[in-house]
Structure 1
Amino acid sequence: MTISPLGSSPSPDRTTPILRLADVSKRFGSHQALRGIDLSVQKGEILGIIGRSGAGKSTLIRCINGLEQPDEGRVEVEGRSIERLSERELQPLRRRVGMVFQHFNLLANRTAAENIALPLKIAGVGRAERTRRVAELLDLVGLGGRGERFPAQMSGGQKQRVGIARALAADPALLLSDEATSALDPETTEQILALLGDINQRLGLTIVLITHEMEVVRRIANRVVVLEGGVVAEEGPVWQVFAEPASPVTRGLLQSITPELPQRILSTLSSKPPGEAVLRLDFGGERADDPVISDFTQAFGRPARIVGGHVDEIQGRPVGRLFIGVEQSGPDDLKAVMDFLAARTLKTECLGYVRRAV
């Protein structure tokens, strides 16, 4: 379905980022929450901002929606600087920035339809237009015909769908999702992420996801910014950051979803030969589809044994890690094997040796 626009909205130049932060810093007493943050978000992009607790995510999102003013730097929404606007001047701008919250923040004494209509009523939209808009949004989020239910009559996933519809009510240019799936079970999380991806595709809506879950970023984002200690530790296309993380904090965040050497191999691993060399191969990028194992077998005349790992697809690109066992034919053989594989992977590393096939 198509959601009709609500009245007239600003039409920024397509080259102007929907959101831009330039050298943004924020301090609370002696605590430096943000330090020199630079980032921009283009129209239609889904950006994931990830970090551990205390990394600065909450402060960053409050600077974006005008609830906090940075001590230094600029925050621009659709090309307009917001950091020095008065509360009254911020009101129309906040309607251009929708918010989806972790704990839904619905009014318990109002129906789903009334919750969705509330920002429209505050904006002075007439009853007939509110009714039309709410019906469209309920259909968009998969709750058509359920507008008269109260939050207590709805599941967590349904409440979050109402929260998303409410955030879209005023036809925002930017949707901020603040840990929107953290309170949901895995199946419902998948459904909500699929809904956000569908909304992004249908409406061309720009989305910024604030999360501490790498799986959320992997599932939906185009680009990721990793925060640590109030600074940007790393940023880039999601597939690239997942395939070849540059910072220790990113590697730590990825640890829970990164394949590890199976315990049955790890328990017998030795740091010195003799034995079968156990290699870790990291894949991603232009050559990730190459038949590396087959090429190895043809080049060296013997098979490589896959002992573990996983290959995923992120943004249409294969990204993954394999663990293989390779028998050695001589003292210089491993170097030749490593050089051959390193030229065909992002990274190849020898983890040790096992004295027999495990």
Structure 2
Amino acid sequence: MNSHVTWKAASAAAEETDVIRLADVRRRFGETAALDGVTLTVRRGEILGIIGRSGAGKSTLIRCLNGLERPDSGTIEIEGREITGLGEADLQPLRRRIGMIFQHFNLLSAKTVEENVALPLKIEGWPKAKRLARAAELLELVGLSGKAKAYPSELSGGQKQRVGIARALAAKPALLLSDEATSALDPETTRSILTLLKDINRKLGLTILLITHEMEVVRGIADRVTVLDAGRVVEEGPVWQVFSRPQAETTRSLLSSIRPQLPAHIADKLTADVGGEAILGIDIAGPAATGPLFEGLSQEFPGGYRLNHGGVDHIQEQAVGRFFLAVPADKAASLASYVERLGAQVEVLGHVADHA
């Protein structure tokens, strides 16, 4: 059967299903397990962020998704079709359904902007007039209509990445894979690229998978987040939930740069010896984070606690609060119980002498 027809049929059947499904995917390189039983889904139209330390398996995962690596075991489905057993010829229709954007842009320096964008269509055999018309349409979408005849050397980093995004969209993919696409950009340019990706996701209903080590990228545009560590999924969920109450130690470490942390001059004095004041870390999210938390505490424990650090942020339109309280050791358990009844997660971080 013609592989293109088969792929179109599978895609049509999967119209209402997950775009990506991985089940128990494993890939080893010698003694190293790059992927160690990864199971995850990416839903149609969502933006999923995948985060992890270097060596967590992120790059191997993305190479398995576009068929550049074959897993040792497990299954990978793209738009309802299992791909792990496909030969190179059958993988070509798959790759046309997947757009890729890269950290270092991967533009051809000898070709103009419009030629770079139109290149995938030239490879597919589109006539010149049609592919240049599509390139013009995409350059308008990414805000570079006036740069069609320019060369990559004449562009800023952010403009180059916009060209890369336009090129990735040329063949109207169902899925966009972003591999550290903002890592080489300054913060202001990163924000503009993220805004563009979110706009494309909304306008086109495009499914996006972000591989990144930048927590601000995930926080800025992702709907859900999956955390990889040593080739395994250690945590996943809506971004606001994972960022407000990270459960895995890996997640806590990765998020330490963007979540309030106990000030060092207090953390250095922490001890396991009970006495003096207990230092509580409180995570609270949703409506409870903007409710009368401290008003209630003041009524229940007048003069019984001090706020050392913290505040309320907003992620995915959800309030996310993180606070550090100093509490007399003999009141710590009752105060923690009270706050937990309000929906908070409380951790006793240690004890210090009074008024640390």
The CA deviation at 1:186 is 1.2
- 2:152 maps to 151
Following the alignment from structure 1 to structure 2, what is the Cα–Cα distance between the partners of residues 51 and 160?
23
Would the aligned equivalents of 2:27 and 2:34 in 1 still touch at CA under 8 Å? Answer: yes
Residue identity opposite 1:198 in structure 2 = D
- 2:351 maps to 352
Residue identity opposite 1:309 in structure 2 = G
Q: 1:199 to 1:303 in 2, by over 3 A?
A: farther
Would the aligned equivalents of 1:116 and 1:134 in 2 still touch at CA under 8 Å? Answer: yes
Asked whether 1:56 is paired with 2:57, we answer yes
The CA deviation at 1:286 is 5.0
Would the aligned equivalents of 1:104 and 1:160 in 2 still touch at CA under 8 Å? Answer: yes
- 1:336 maps to 334
- 2:240 maps to 239
Q: 1:332 to 1:262 in 2, by over 3 A?
A: closer
Alignment size in residue pairs: 346
Asked whether 1:290 is paired with 2:291, we answer yes
Residue identity opposite 1:148 in structure 2 = K
Q: 1:70 to 1:269 in 2, by over 3 A?
A: closer
- 2:4 maps to none
Measured against aligned partners, the alpha-carbon deviations of 1:193-238 in whole angstroms (never above 9, x if no partner) come to: 1111111111110000011122211111111111111111111111
The CA deviation at 1:291 is 1.5
- 1:139 maps to 140
Residue identity opposite 1:307 in structure 2 = N
Q: 1:335 to 1:200 in 2, by over 3 A?
A: same
The CA deviation at 1:32 is 2.0
The CA deviation at 1:13 is 3.7
Following the alignment from structure 1 to structure 2, what is the Cα–Cα distance between the partners of residues 241 and 261?
19
Alignment of 1:213-252 (within 5 A): 213-252=214-253
The CA deviation at 1:320 is 2.8
The CA deviation at 1:12 is 4.0
SS in structure 2 of the partner of residue 257 of structure 1? coil
Residue identity opposite 1:337 in structure 2 = L
Measured against aligned partners, the alpha-carbon deviations of 1:122-178 in whole angstroms (never above 9, x if no partner) come to: 111122221221111111111111111111101111100000000000000000000
Alignment RMSD (CA, Å):
2.1
Residue identity opposite 1:201 in structure 2 = R
Measured against aligned partners, the alpha-carbon deviations of 1:33-88 in whole angstroms (never above 9, x if no partner) come to: 21221111111011111111111111110110011111112211111122122212
Q: 1:268 to 1:70 in 2, by over 3 A?
A: closer
SS in structure 1 of the partner of residue 216 of structure 2? helix
Identity %: 56
Asked whether 1:210 is paired with 2:208, we answer no
Following the alignment from structure 2 to structure 1, what is the Cα–Cα distance between the partners of residues 279 and 44?
45
Alignment of 1:1-358 (within 5 A): 10-266=11-267, 272-274=274-276, 277-285=278-286, 287-302=288-303, 304-326=305-327, 328=328, 332-350=330-348, 351-356=350-355
Q: Which stretch of the first structure deviates more once superposed, 114-123 or 339-348? A: 339-348
The CA deviation at 1:110 is 0.6
Normalising by structure 2, report the TM-score: 0.90
Q: Which stretch of the first structure deviates more once superposed, 317-326 or 112-121? A: 317-326
Following the alignment from structure 1 to structure 2, what is the Cα–Cα distance between the partners of residues 78 and 84?
15
Would the aligned equivalents of 2:279 and 2:351 in 1 still touch at CA under 8 Å? Answer: yes
Normalising by structure 1, report the TM-score: 0.90
Would the aligned equivalents of 1:313 and 1:319 in 2 still touch at CA under 8 Å? Answer: yes
Q: Which stretch of the first structure deviates more once superposed, 229-238 or 97-106? A: 229-238
Following the alignment from structure 1 to structure 2, what is the Cα–Cα distance between the partners of residues 109 and 230?
39
Following the alignment from structure 1 to structure 2, what is the Cα–Cα distance between the partners of residues 155 and 181?
13
Q: 1:208 to 1:273 in 2, by over 3 A?
A: same
Q: 1:344 to 1:97 in 2, by over 3 A?
A: same
The CA deviation at 1:345 is 4.3
The CA deviation at 1:118 is 0.3
- 1:3 maps to none
Following the alignment from structure 1 to structure 2, what is the Cα–Cα distance between the partners of residues 229 and 142?
39
Q: 1:273 to 1:241 in 2, by over 3 A?
A: same
- Specify every segment of 5 or more residues in structure 1 that has no aligned partner in the other structure, as ranges: 1-7
SS in structure 1 of the partner of residue 145 of structure 2? coil
Residue identity opposite 2:80 in structure 1 = G
Residue identity opposite 1:115 in structure 2 = N
Following the alignment from structure 1 to structure 2, what is the Cα–Cα distance between the partners of residues 91 and 82?
11
